[in-house]
Structure 1
Amino acid sequence: MEANKTLLQLQSLNKQYGNDEPAIKDIDLILPQGQVLALIGPSGAGKSTLIRCINRLVEPTSGKVWLDNQEVTGLSKNSLRRVRRKMGMIFQEYALVERLTVMENVLSGQLGYVGFWQSWLRRFPQATIEEAFRLLDRVGLSQFPDQRADALSGGQRQRVGIARALLQNPDLLLVDEPTASLDPKTARQIMRLITELAQERGLGVILNIHDVQLAQRFAQRIVGLNQGSIVYDGSPNGLDANTLTDIYGEEDWTTPQEVEA
Protein backbone atom coordinates (compact mmCIF):
# COMPACT_ATOMS: atom_id res chain seq x y z
CA MET A 1 0.00 0.00 0.00
CA GLU A 2 1.04 3.60 -0.56
CA ALA A 3 2.63 5.50 2.30
CA ASN A 4 0.18 7.78 4.14
CA LYS A 5 -2.75 6.13 2.41
CA THR A 6 -5.84 5.90 4.61
CA LEU A 7 -5.98 2.36 5.95
CA LEU A 8 -8.78 2.63 8.51
CA GLN A 9 -11.61 5.10 8.95
CA LEU A 10 -14.16 5.23 11.76
CA GLN A 11 -17.26 7.37 11.24
CA SER A 12 -19.53 8.31 14.17
CA LEU A 13 -18.87 4.98 15.86
CA ASN A 14 -21.00 4.24 18.93
CA LYS A 15 -21.45 1.30 21.26
CA GLN A 16 -24.04 1.13 24.02
CA TYR A 17 -24.75 -1.86 26.25
CA GLY A 18 -28.43 -1.91 27.19
CA ASN A 19 -29.48 1.21 29.07
CA ASP A 20 -25.97 1.98 30.32
CA GLU A 21 -24.03 5.05 29.31
CA PRO A 22 -22.44 4.55 25.86
CA ALA A 23 -19.07 2.80 26.04
CA ILE A 24 -17.86 4.82 23.04
CA LYS A 25 -19.49 7.95 21.65
CA ASP A 26 -19.33 9.33 18.11
CA ILE A 27 -15.77 8.23 17.42
CA ASP A 28 -14.31 9.71 14.22
CA LEU A 29 -10.82 8.51 13.41
CA ILE A 30 -8.56 8.07 10.40
CA LEU A 31 -5.48 5.84 10.58
CA PRO A 32 -2.92 6.11 7.77
CA GLN A 33 -1.09 3.04 6.53
CA GLY A 34 2.06 2.46 8.56
CA GLN A 35 1.13 4.56 11.60
CA VAL A 36 1.36 3.31 15.19
CA LEU A 37 -1.44 4.85 17.25
CA ALA A 38 -1.74 4.36 21.02
CA LEU A 39 -5.10 4.58 22.80
CA ILE A 40 -4.76 5.82 26.37
CA GLY A 41 -7.26 6.66 29.06
CA PRO A 42 -8.58 5.52 32.43
CA SER A 43 -10.13 2.12 32.99
CA GLY A 44 -13.64 2.08 31.53
CA ALA A 45 -12.86 4.84 29.02
CA GLY A 46 -13.80 2.58 26.09
CA LYS A 47 -10.38 1.62 24.74
CA SER A 48 -10.94 -2.14 24.53
CA THR A 49 -14.48 -1.65 23.25
CA LEU A 50 -13.22 0.58 20.47
CA ILE A 51 -10.64 -1.96 19.34
CA ARG A 52 -13.21 -4.76 19.37
CA CYS A 53 -15.76 -2.72 17.44
CA ILE A 54 -13.24 -2.30 14.62
CA ASN A 55 -13.10 -6.04 13.90
CA ARG A 56 -16.64 -6.60 15.18
CA LEU A 57 -15.76 -8.87 18.05
CA VAL A 58 -18.14 -6.35 19.60
CA GLU A 59 -20.94 -5.15 17.33
CA PRO A 60 -21.15 -1.35 17.16
CA THR A 61 -24.53 0.14 17.98
CA SER A 62 -24.18 2.65 15.15
CA GLY A 63 -21.59 4.20 12.88
CA LYS A 64 -19.27 2.80 10.23
CA VAL A 65 -15.85 1.16 10.02
CA TRP A 66 -13.91 1.21 6.76
CA LEU A 67 -10.78 -0.86 6.15
CA ASP A 68 -8.90 -0.03 2.97
CA ASN A 69 -12.05 1.45 1.39
CA GLN A 70 -14.22 -1.56 2.31
CA GLU A 71 -16.99 -1.06 4.83
CA VAL A 72 -16.64 -3.59 7.64
CA THR A 73 -19.88 -2.75 9.42
CA GLY A 74 -22.81 -4.47 7.80
CA LEU A 75 -20.80 -7.29 6.21
CA SER A 76 -22.23 -10.80 6.30
CA LYS A 77 -20.55 -13.39 8.51
CA ASN A 78 -18.66 -14.95 5.59
CA SER A 79 -17.55 -11.60 4.20
CA LEU A 80 -16.47 -10.46 7.65
CA ARG A 81 -14.36 -13.58 8.05
CA ARG A 82 -12.46 -12.68 4.86
CA VAL A 83 -11.91 -9.07 5.94
CA ARG A 84 -10.71 -10.17 9.38
CA ARG A 85 -7.76 -11.84 7.68
CA LYS A 86 -6.42 -8.33 7.19
CA MET A 87 -6.84 -7.43 10.88
CA GLY A 88 -4.43 -9.20 13.19
CA MET A 89 -5.37 -9.20 16.88
CA ILE A 90 -2.96 -9.37 19.82
CA PHE A 91 -4.60 -9.95 23.19
CA GLN A 92 -3.67 -8.99 26.75
CA GLU A 93 -4.20 -12.56 27.99
CA TYR A 94 -2.43 -14.01 24.92
CA ALA A 95 -5.41 -16.24 23.90
CA LEU A 96 -3.14 -19.23 23.30
CA VAL A 97 -4.20 -22.86 23.44
CA GLU A 98 -2.17 -23.93 26.45
CA ARG A 99 -1.82 -27.62 25.56
CA LEU A 100 -0.60 -26.89 22.02
CA THR A 101 2.98 -26.15 21.04
CA VAL A 102 4.35 -22.76 20.10
CA MET A 103 4.33 -23.71 16.41
CA GLU A 104 0.76 -25.03 16.54
CA ASN A 105 -0.39 -21.79 18.16
CA VAL A 106 1.38 -19.68 15.55
CA LEU A 107 -0.10 -21.73 12.71
CA SER A 108 -3.57 -21.08 14.10
CA GLY A 109 -3.15 -17.62 12.59
CA GLN A 110 -3.85 -19.27 9.23
CA LEU A 111 -7.21 -20.76 10.21
CA GLY A 112 -9.00 -18.05 8.23
CA TYR A 113 -7.24 -19.24 5.07
CA VAL A 114 -7.32 -23.05 5.19
CA GLY A 115 -10.30 -25.39 5.07
CA PHE A 116 -11.91 -27.05 8.09
CA TRP A 117 -10.28 -30.47 7.64
CA GLN A 118 -6.86 -28.97 6.97
CA SER A 119 -7.07 -27.00 10.20
CA TRP A 120 -8.52 -29.98 12.12
CA LEU A 121 -5.68 -32.23 10.98
CA ARG A 122 -3.17 -29.35 11.33
CA ARG A 123 -2.08 -29.71 7.72
CA PHE A 124 -0.68 -26.45 6.42
CA PRO A 125 1.15 -25.61 3.18
CA GLN A 126 4.92 -25.91 3.41
CA ALA A 127 5.32 -22.23 2.56
CA THR A 128 3.12 -21.34 5.54
CA ILE A 129 5.18 -23.53 7.86
CA GLU A 130 8.40 -21.94 6.60
CA GLU A 131 6.98 -18.47 7.18
CA ALA A 132 5.95 -19.49 10.71
CA PHE A 133 9.55 -20.54 11.41
CA ARG A 134 10.80 -17.20 10.04
CA LEU A 135 8.40 -15.32 12.30
CA LEU A 136 9.42 -17.33 15.35
CA ASP A 137 13.01 -16.43 14.61
CA ARG A 138 12.08 -12.76 14.21
CA VAL A 139 10.27 -12.60 17.56
CA GLY A 140 13.10 -14.43 19.34
CA LEU A 141 11.51 -17.86 19.76
CA SER A 142 13.40 -19.93 17.20
CA GLN A 143 14.44 -22.42 19.88
CA PHE A 144 10.91 -23.04 21.16
CA PRO A 145 8.71 -24.33 18.29
CA ASP A 146 7.89 -27.60 20.11
CA GLN A 147 7.49 -26.08 23.57
CA ARG A 148 3.99 -26.22 25.00
CA ALA A 149 2.41 -22.81 25.46
CA ASP A 150 1.74 -23.40 29.16
CA ALA A 151 5.50 -23.73 29.77
CA LEU A 152 6.29 -20.23 28.50
CA SER A 153 6.80 -16.97 30.39
CA GLY A 154 4.41 -14.07 29.90
CA GLY A 155 6.77 -12.27 27.53
CA GLN A 156 7.28 -15.43 25.48
CA ARG A 157 3.52 -15.99 25.25
CA GLN A 158 3.04 -12.47 24.00
CA ARG A 159 5.71 -13.08 21.34
CA VAL A 160 3.80 -16.17 20.21
CA GLY A 161 0.68 -14.02 19.93
CA ILE A 162 2.56 -11.48 17.82
CA ALA A 163 3.89 -14.17 15.47
CA ARG A 164 0.41 -15.70 15.17
CA ALA A 165 -1.13 -12.35 14.25
CA LEU A 166 1.58 -11.65 11.66
CA LEU A 167 1.14 -15.05 10.03
CA GLN A 168 -2.22 -13.76 8.81
CA ASN A 169 -0.26 -11.23 6.73
CA PRO A 170 -2.51 -8.41 8.00
CA ASP A 171 -2.61 -4.76 7.01
CA LEU A 172 -3.81 -3.67 10.47
CA LEU A 173 -2.77 -4.81 13.95
CA LEU A 174 -5.21 -4.36 16.83
CA VAL A 175 -3.35 -4.71 20.11
CA ASP A 176 -5.20 -4.84 23.43
CA GLU A 177 -3.04 -4.06 26.48
CA PRO A 178 -0.01 -6.11 25.39
CA THR A 179 2.11 -5.11 28.39
CA ALA A 180 -0.42 -5.21 31.24
CA SER A 181 0.87 -8.50 32.71
CA LEU A 182 4.56 -7.93 32.02
CA ASP A 183 7.44 -6.53 34.03
CA PRO A 184 8.82 -3.13 32.90
CA LYS A 185 11.80 -4.51 30.97
CA THR A 186 9.73 -7.13 29.12
CA ALA A 187 7.03 -4.54 28.44
CA ARG A 188 9.55 -2.28 26.69
CA GLN A 189 10.89 -5.22 24.68
CA ILE A 190 7.39 -6.18 23.51
CA MET A 191 6.52 -2.60 22.58
CA ARG A 192 9.79 -2.25 20.69
CA LEU A 193 9.13 -5.51 18.84
CA ILE A 194 5.60 -4.49 17.84
CA THR A 195 6.69 -1.10 16.53
CA GLU A 196 9.71 -2.50 14.69
CA LEU A 197 7.58 -5.15 12.99
CA ALA A 198 4.98 -2.55 12.06
CA GLN A 199 7.69 -0.44 10.44
CA GLU A 200 9.24 -3.42 8.64
CA ARG A 201 5.88 -4.52 7.21
CA GLY A 202 4.21 -1.15 6.74
CA LEU A 203 1.38 -2.03 9.12
CA GLY A 204 -1.10 0.28 10.73
CA VAL A 205 -1.38 -0.33 14.48
CA ILE A 206 -3.99 0.65 17.05
CA LEU A 207 -2.72 -0.21 20.49
CA ASN A 208 -4.61 0.07 23.77
CA ILE A 209 -2.16 0.70 26.61
CA HIS A 210 -2.31 1.96 30.20
CA ASP A 211 1.33 2.99 30.48
CA VAL A 212 1.53 6.59 29.24
CA GLN A 213 5.33 6.62 29.22
CA LEU A 214 5.45 3.53 26.99
CA ALA A 215 2.87 5.10 24.69
CA GLN A 216 4.92 8.29 24.42
CA ARG A 217 8.12 6.38 23.78
CA PHE A 218 6.91 4.01 21.07
CA ALA A 219 3.77 5.41 19.42
CA GLN A 220 3.73 8.00 16.65
CA ARG A 221 0.31 9.30 17.65
CA ILE A 222 -1.71 9.35 20.87
CA VAL A 223 -5.49 9.28 21.16
CA GLY A 224 -6.84 9.91 24.65
CA LEU A 225 -10.30 8.65 25.61
CA ASN A 226 -12.42 9.73 28.54
CA GLN A 227 -15.92 8.35 29.14
CA GLY A 228 -16.05 7.00 25.61
CA SER A 229 -15.11 10.21 23.81
CA ILE A 230 -11.88 11.39 22.20
CA VAL A 231 -10.45 14.24 24.28
CA TYR A 232 -6.97 14.27 22.72
CA ASP A 233 -5.61 13.30 19.31
CA GLY A 234 -2.08 14.31 18.51
CA SER A 235 1.63 13.96 19.02
CA PRO A 236 3.12 12.15 22.04
CA ASN A 237 4.93 15.42 22.80
CA GLY A 238 1.58 17.15 23.31
CA LEU A 239 0.74 15.23 26.47
CA ASP A 240 1.29 18.03 28.93
CA ALA A 241 -0.21 18.28 32.42
CA ASN A 242 -3.41 19.96 31.18
CA THR A 243 -3.96 17.30 28.54
CA LEU A 244 -3.36 14.46 30.99
CA THR A 245 -5.89 16.06 33.33
CA ASP A 246 -8.43 16.15 30.50
CA ILE A 247 -7.85 12.45 29.90
CA TYR A 248 -7.43 11.08 33.42
CA GLY A 249 -8.64 13.77 35.82
CA GLU A 250 -6.89 15.91 38.40
CA GLU A 251 -3.45 14.72 39.51
CA ASP A 252 0.01 16.15 40.09
CA TRP A 253 1.40 15.28 36.67
CA THR A 254 4.70 17.04 37.39
CA THR A 255 5.76 14.33 39.87
CA PRO A 256 7.86 11.62 38.17
CA GLN A 257 6.10 8.29 37.86
CA GLU A 258 7.31 5.68 40.29
CA VAL A 259 9.20 2.80 38.71
CA GLU A 260 7.62 -0.58 39.34
CA ALA A 261 9.65 -3.09 41.28
Structure 2
Amino acid sequence: MLSVEKLTKVYRTGDTALTDVTFTVPKGQVVGLIGPSGAGKSTLIRCVNRLVEPTSGAVRLGDLDITRLRARDLRRARRRIGMIFQEYALVERLTVMENVLSGRLGYVPFWRSFTRRFPGPDIARAFALLDRVGLSAHADKRADALSGGQRQRVGIARALEQEPDLLLIDEPTASLDPRTSRQIMRLIVEICRESGLPAIINIHDVVLAQQFADRIIGLQSGRVVFDGPPAQLTGDALTAIYGAEDWTAMRQSAADDAEAEAEERDEARKMLRAL
Protein backbone atom coordinates (compact mmCIF):
# COMPACT_ATOMS: atom_id res chain seq x y z
CA MET A 1 0.00 0.00 0.00
CA LEU A 2 1.11 3.54 -0.76
CA SER A 3 0.56 6.19 1.91
CA VAL A 4 1.09 9.91 1.25
CA GLU A 5 0.86 12.12 4.33
CA LYS A 6 0.72 15.94 4.28
CA LEU A 7 3.04 16.10 1.28
CA THR A 8 4.14 19.66 0.52
CA LYS A 9 6.46 21.01 -2.15
CA VAL A 10 7.67 24.61 -2.23
CA TYR A 11 10.20 25.51 -4.93
CA ARG A 12 13.14 27.85 -4.36
CA THR A 13 11.27 30.54 -6.26
CA GLY A 14 8.66 30.49 -3.49
CA ASP A 15 6.03 28.84 -5.70
CA THR A 16 4.00 26.22 -3.84
CA ALA A 17 3.27 23.16 -6.00
CA LEU A 18 1.69 20.90 -3.35
CA THR A 19 0.08 21.63 0.01
CA ASP A 20 -0.71 18.97 2.63
CA VAL A 21 -1.60 16.28 0.09
CA THR A 22 -2.79 13.17 1.94
CA PHE A 23 -4.17 9.90 0.60
CA THR A 24 -3.57 6.14 0.56
CA VAL A 25 -3.70 3.71 -2.36
CA PRO A 26 -4.43 0.08 -1.41
CA LYS A 27 -3.24 -2.99 -3.25
CA GLY A 28 -4.65 -3.32 -6.76
CA GLN A 29 -6.34 0.09 -6.89
CA VAL A 30 -5.93 2.32 -9.95
CA VAL A 31 -6.14 6.03 -9.14
CA GLY A 32 -6.73 8.62 -11.84
CA LEU A 33 -5.01 11.90 -10.94
CA ILE A 34 -6.73 14.81 -12.67
CA GLY A 35 -6.58 18.59 -12.59
CA PRO A 36 -5.72 21.61 -14.76
CA SER A 37 -2.21 22.30 -16.01
CA GLY A 38 -0.07 23.55 -13.14
CA ALA A 39 -2.25 21.86 -10.49
CA GLY A 40 0.71 19.77 -9.26
CA LYS A 41 -0.07 16.38 -10.79
CA SER A 42 3.38 15.70 -12.27
CA THR A 43 5.07 17.13 -9.19
CA LEU A 44 3.09 14.77 -6.99
CA ILE A 45 4.07 11.69 -8.98
CA ARG A 46 7.72 12.75 -8.96
CA CYS A 47 7.67 13.45 -5.23
CA VAL A 48 6.47 9.89 -4.62
CA ASN A 49 9.68 8.43 -6.08
CA ARG A 50 11.73 11.52 -5.14
CA LEU A 51 12.67 12.58 -8.62
CA VAL A 52 11.48 15.83 -7.05
CA GLU A 53 12.39 16.32 -3.38
CA PRO A 54 9.37 17.09 -1.18
CA THR A 55 9.66 20.03 1.18
CA SER A 56 7.80 18.23 3.95
CA GLY A 57 5.48 15.31 4.57
CA ALA A 58 5.96 11.57 4.16
CA VAL A 59 5.64 8.96 1.42
CA ARG A 60 5.47 5.36 2.59
CA LEU A 61 5.44 2.24 0.44
CA GLY A 62 4.44 -0.52 2.81
CA ASP A 63 6.65 -0.10 5.86
CA LEU A 64 9.30 1.88 3.96
CA ASP A 65 9.43 5.68 4.44
CA ILE A 66 10.77 6.80 1.08
CA THR A 67 11.14 10.44 2.13
CA ARG A 68 13.76 9.53 4.76
CA LEU A 69 16.03 7.36 2.62
CA ARG A 70 19.61 8.28 1.78
CA ALA A 71 20.94 7.97 -1.77
CA ARG A 72 21.95 4.29 -1.76
CA ASP A 73 18.77 3.09 -0.07
CA LEU A 74 16.71 5.35 -2.31
CA ARG A 75 18.17 3.68 -5.41
CA ARG A 76 17.11 0.32 -4.01
CA ALA A 77 13.64 1.61 -3.16
CA ARG A 78 13.14 2.95 -6.68
CA ARG A 79 13.45 -0.60 -7.99
CA ARG A 80 10.08 -1.19 -6.30
CA ILE A 81 8.44 1.71 -8.16
CA GLY A 82 7.75 1.26 -11.87
CA MET A 83 7.49 4.48 -13.91
CA ILE A 84 5.72 4.74 -17.26
CA PHE A 85 6.38 7.97 -19.13
CA GLN A 86 4.33 10.07 -21.52
CA GLU A 87 7.13 10.18 -24.11
CA TYR A 88 7.95 6.47 -23.62
CA ALA A 89 11.62 7.11 -22.61
CA LEU A 90 12.85 4.20 -24.73
CA VAL A 91 16.35 3.84 -26.16
CA GLU A 92 15.31 3.92 -29.79
CA ARG A 93 18.40 2.27 -31.28
CA LEU A 94 17.92 -0.77 -29.01
CA THR A 95 15.50 -3.61 -29.66
CA VAL A 96 12.18 -4.04 -27.92
CA MET A 97 13.62 -6.89 -25.84
CA GLU A 98 16.67 -4.84 -24.81
CA ASN A 99 14.42 -1.98 -23.73
CA VAL A 100 12.28 -4.30 -21.63
CA LEU A 101 15.35 -5.88 -20.03
CA SER A 102 16.55 -2.42 -19.02
CA GLY A 103 13.96 -2.71 -16.29
CA ARG A 104 16.40 -5.09 -14.56
CA LEU A 105 19.35 -2.68 -14.56
CA GLY A 106 18.93 -1.96 -10.87
CA TYR A 107 19.27 -5.66 -10.06
CA VAL A 108 22.21 -6.89 -12.12
CA PRO A 109 25.97 -6.19 -11.91
CA PHE A 110 27.36 -3.48 -14.19
CA TRP A 111 29.20 -5.98 -16.40
CA ARG A 112 25.97 -7.81 -17.20
CA SER A 113 24.15 -4.61 -18.15
CA PHE A 114 27.13 -3.33 -20.16
CA THR A 115 27.40 -6.56 -22.16
CA ARG A 116 23.62 -7.03 -22.20
CA ARG A 117 23.94 -10.49 -20.68
CA PHE A 118 20.97 -10.84 -18.42
CA PRO A 119 20.15 -13.93 -16.35
CA GLY A 120 17.87 -16.53 -17.89
CA PRO A 121 14.92 -15.86 -15.54
CA ASP A 122 15.02 -12.15 -16.43
CA ILE A 123 14.90 -12.98 -20.14
CA ALA A 124 12.07 -15.47 -19.65
CA ARG A 125 10.07 -12.88 -17.72
CA ALA A 126 10.68 -10.29 -20.46
CA PHE A 127 9.33 -12.69 -23.10
CA ALA A 128 6.27 -13.40 -20.94
CA LEU A 129 5.63 -9.67 -20.46
CA LEU A 130 5.97 -8.96 -24.18
CA ASP A 131 3.41 -11.67 -24.79
CA ARG A 132 1.13 -10.11 -22.15
CA VAL A 133 1.24 -6.67 -23.81
CA GLY A 134 0.81 -8.15 -27.29
CA LEU A 135 4.32 -7.55 -28.63
CA SER A 136 5.92 -11.00 -28.61
CA ALA A 137 6.32 -10.86 -32.40
CA HIS A 138 8.24 -7.58 -32.16
CA ALA A 139 10.95 -8.57 -29.65
CA ASP A 140 13.80 -8.07 -32.13
CA LYS A 141 12.56 -4.84 -33.71
CA ARG A 142 14.25 -1.55 -32.92
CA ALA A 143 12.15 0.70 -30.75
CA ASP A 144 12.16 3.46 -33.36
CA ALA A 145 10.30 1.14 -35.77
CA LEU A 146 7.23 0.97 -33.54
CA SER A 147 4.02 2.97 -33.46
CA GLY A 148 3.17 5.18 -30.49
CA GLY A 149 0.83 2.60 -28.99
CA GLN A 150 3.44 -0.13 -29.37
CA ARG A 151 6.09 2.04 -27.72
CA GLN A 152 3.81 2.65 -24.78
CA ARG A 153 3.30 -1.10 -24.45
CA VAL A 154 7.08 -1.55 -24.35
CA GLY A 155 7.21 1.05 -21.58
CA ILE A 156 4.58 -0.90 -19.63
CA ALA A 157 6.49 -4.17 -20.05
CA ARG A 158 9.75 -2.49 -18.99
CA ALA A 159 8.15 -1.12 -15.81
CA LEU A 160 6.72 -4.56 -14.99
CA GLU A 161 10.11 -6.19 -15.59
CA GLN A 162 11.23 -4.41 -12.41
CA GLU A 163 8.67 -6.50 -10.48
CA PRO A 164 7.45 -3.30 -8.80
CA ASP A 165 5.18 -2.80 -5.81
CA LEU A 166 3.75 0.42 -7.29
CA LEU A 167 3.21 1.93 -10.74
CA LEU A 168 3.46 5.66 -11.42
CA ILE A 169 2.15 6.56 -14.85
CA ASP A 170 2.54 10.01 -16.37
CA GLU A 171 0.09 10.89 -19.18
CA PRO A 172 0.16 7.46 -20.88
CA THR A 173 -2.33 8.43 -23.60
CA ALA A 174 -1.37 12.04 -24.38
CA SER A 175 0.18 11.20 -27.76
CA LEU A 176 -2.25 8.46 -28.78
CA ASP A 177 -5.47 8.35 -30.80
CA PRO A 178 -8.73 7.67 -28.90
CA ARG A 179 -8.98 3.96 -29.67
CA THR A 180 -5.35 3.25 -28.82
CA SER A 181 -5.77 5.33 -25.66
CA ARG A 182 -8.62 3.08 -24.51
CA GLN A 183 -6.58 -0.02 -25.32
CA ILE A 184 -3.61 1.23 -23.30
CA MET A 185 -5.76 2.21 -20.33
CA ARG A 186 -7.57 -1.13 -20.43
CA LEU A 187 -4.24 -2.97 -20.50
CA ILE A 188 -2.87 -1.02 -17.53
CA VAL A 189 -6.00 -1.62 -15.45
CA GLU A 190 -6.14 -5.33 -16.30
CA ILE A 191 -2.48 -5.82 -15.36
CA CYS A 192 -2.91 -3.96 -12.07
CA ARG A 193 -5.89 -6.12 -11.15
CA GLU A 194 -4.13 -9.34 -12.16
CA SER A 195 -1.01 -8.47 -10.15
CA GLY A 196 -2.61 -6.58 -7.26
CA LEU A 197 -0.49 -3.56 -8.18
CA PRO A 198 -1.53 -0.11 -6.94
CA ALA A 199 -1.15 2.59 -9.60
CA ILE A 200 -1.42 6.37 -9.91
CA ILE A 201 -2.12 7.66 -13.41
CA ASN A 202 -1.61 11.36 -14.12
CA ILE A 203 -4.13 11.93 -16.88
CA HIS A 204 -5.66 14.98 -18.59
CA ASP A 205 -8.48 13.05 -20.24
CA VAL A 206 -11.25 13.11 -17.63
CA VAL A 207 -13.46 10.80 -19.70
CA LEU A 208 -10.77 8.11 -19.79
CA ALA A 209 -10.16 8.54 -16.08
CA GLN A 210 -13.85 8.05 -15.34
CA GLN A 211 -14.06 5.07 -17.65
CA PHE A 212 -11.09 3.11 -16.32
CA ALA A 213 -9.90 4.32 -12.91
CA ASP A 214 -11.23 2.83 -9.68
CA ARG A 215 -10.89 6.18 -7.95
CA ILE A 216 -10.34 9.81 -8.92
CA ILE A 217 -8.19 12.35 -7.08
CA GLY A 218 -8.62 15.92 -8.30
CA LEU A 219 -5.97 18.57 -7.66
CA GLN A 220 -6.47 22.33 -7.82
CA SER A 221 -3.53 24.63 -7.05
CA GLY A 222 -1.65 21.82 -5.33
CA ARG A 223 -4.49 20.79 -3.02
CA VAL A 224 -6.78 17.77 -3.11
CA VAL A 225 -10.28 19.09 -3.84
CA PHE A 226 -11.87 15.76 -4.84
CA ASP A 227 -11.23 12.17 -3.79
CA GLY A 228 -13.82 9.56 -4.60
CA PRO A 229 -15.22 7.04 -7.10
CA PRO A 230 -15.72 8.09 -10.73
CA ALA A 231 -19.50 8.03 -10.32
CA GLN A 232 -19.26 10.94 -7.88
CA LEU A 233 -17.38 13.14 -10.33
CA THR A 234 -20.37 15.39 -10.96
CA GLY A 235 -20.48 18.73 -12.74
CA ASP A 236 -20.06 20.48 -9.38
CA ALA A 237 -17.00 18.37 -8.56
CA LEU A 238 -15.49 19.12 -11.98
CA THR A 239 -16.14 22.82 -11.45
CA ALA A 240 -14.27 22.65 -8.13
CA ILE A 241 -11.31 21.08 -9.95
CA TYR A 242 -11.25 22.98 -13.25
CA GLY A 243 -13.49 26.03 -12.79
CA ALA A 244 -16.91 26.90 -14.15
CA GLU A 245 -17.83 25.17 -17.40
CA ASP A 246 -20.76 23.42 -19.07
CA TRP A 247 -19.89 19.74 -18.51
CA THR A 248 -22.85 18.34 -20.48
CA ALA A 249 -20.79 17.67 -23.60
CA MET A 250 -18.13 15.86 -21.59
CA ARG A 251 -20.71 13.57 -20.01
CA GLN A 252 -22.09 12.80 -23.49
CA SER A 253 -18.53 12.03 -24.63
CA ALA A 254 -18.17 9.66 -21.67
CA ALA A 255 -21.37 7.88 -22.70
CA ASP A 256 -20.16 7.65 -26.32
CA ASP A 257 -16.81 6.24 -25.19
CA ALA A 258 -18.53 3.65 -23.01
CA GLU A 259 -20.59 2.59 -26.04
CA ALA A 260 -17.45 2.38 -28.18
CA GLU A 261 -15.77 0.32 -25.45
CA ALA A 262 -18.67 -2.14 -25.43
CA GLU A 263 -18.51 -2.43 -29.23
CA GLU A 264 -14.76 -3.14 -29.09
CA ARG A 265 -15.33 -5.90 -26.54
CA ASP A 266 -18.08 -7.45 -28.67
CA GLU A 267 -15.78 -7.35 -31.69
CA ALA A 268 -12.96 -9.00 -29.71
CA ARG A 269 -15.31 -11.75 -28.50
CA LYS A 270 -16.47 -12.43 -32.09
CA MET A 271 -12.86 -12.71 -33.24
CA LEU A 272 -12.07 -15.18 -30.44
CA ARG A 273 -15.07 -17.33 -31.36
CA ALA A 274 -13.93 -17.37 -35.00
CA LEU A 275 -10.48 -18.74 -34.09
Shorter-chain TM-score category? Answer: over 0.9
SS at match of 2:249: coil
Who is 1:16 aligned against?
10
State the secondary structure of the residue aligned to 2:111.
helix
Structure 1 position 141 matched with structure 2 position 135: yes
- Aligned residue in 2 for 1:159: 153
Once the two structures are TM-superposed, the CA of residue 126 in structure 1 deviates from its matched residue by 0.6
Distance 1:24 1:118 in 2: 40
Alignment partner of 1:253 is 2:251: no
CA distance in 2, matches of 1:64, 1:48: 17
Tell me, in whole angstroms, the C-alpha distance in 2 between the residues paired with 1:219 and 1:255.
20
Q: Deviations over 1:141-199 (max 9, x none)?
A: 01101111111110000000000000011110000000000000000000000000001
2:224 corresponds to 1:230: yes
Match of 1:105 in 2: 99
What residue number does 2:263 align with? none
* 1:43 matched residue in structure 2: 37
Q: What letter matches 1:45 in structure 2?
A: A
* Structure having the larger proportion of residues in helix: 2
| In structure 1, C-alpha distance between the alignment counterparts of 2:249 and 2:103, rounded to whole Å | 43
Q: Which moved more, 1:251-260 or 1:122-131?
A: 251-260
Task: Tell me which amino acid in the other structure corresponds to 2:104.
Answer: Q
Paired residue for 1:61, among 55, 58, 77?
55
Following TM superposition, where does structure 1 have runs of at least 4 consecutive aligned residues deviating by more than 2 angstroms? 255-260
Once superposed, what is the RMSD of the aligned Cα atoms? 1.3
Does structure 1 residue 170 correspond to structure 2 residue 164?
A: yes
- 1:3: which partner in 2? none
Unaligned runs of 5+ in 1: 1-6
Shift of 1:20: 3.6
Report the counterpart of residue 110 of structure 2 in structure 1. Answer: 116
From 193, 201, 223, give the equivalent of 1:199.
Answer: 193
Aligned match of 1:181? 175
User: What amino acid is aligned across from residue 148 of structure 2 in structure 1?
Assistant: G
SS at match of 1:129: helix
Deviation at 1:255, TM superposition (A): 2.5
> 1:92 Cα deviation (Å)?
0.3
Aligned partner of 2:152: which letter? Answer: Q
Q: Supply the distance in 1 between the matched residues of 2:162 and 2:222 (Cα, whole angstroms).
A: 30
Q: Which of 237, 244, 258 matches 2:238?
A: 244
| Identical positions, percent | 65
**1:74 aligns to what?**
68
SS in 2 for 1:23: strand
Q: Secondary structure at the match of 1:255?
A: helix
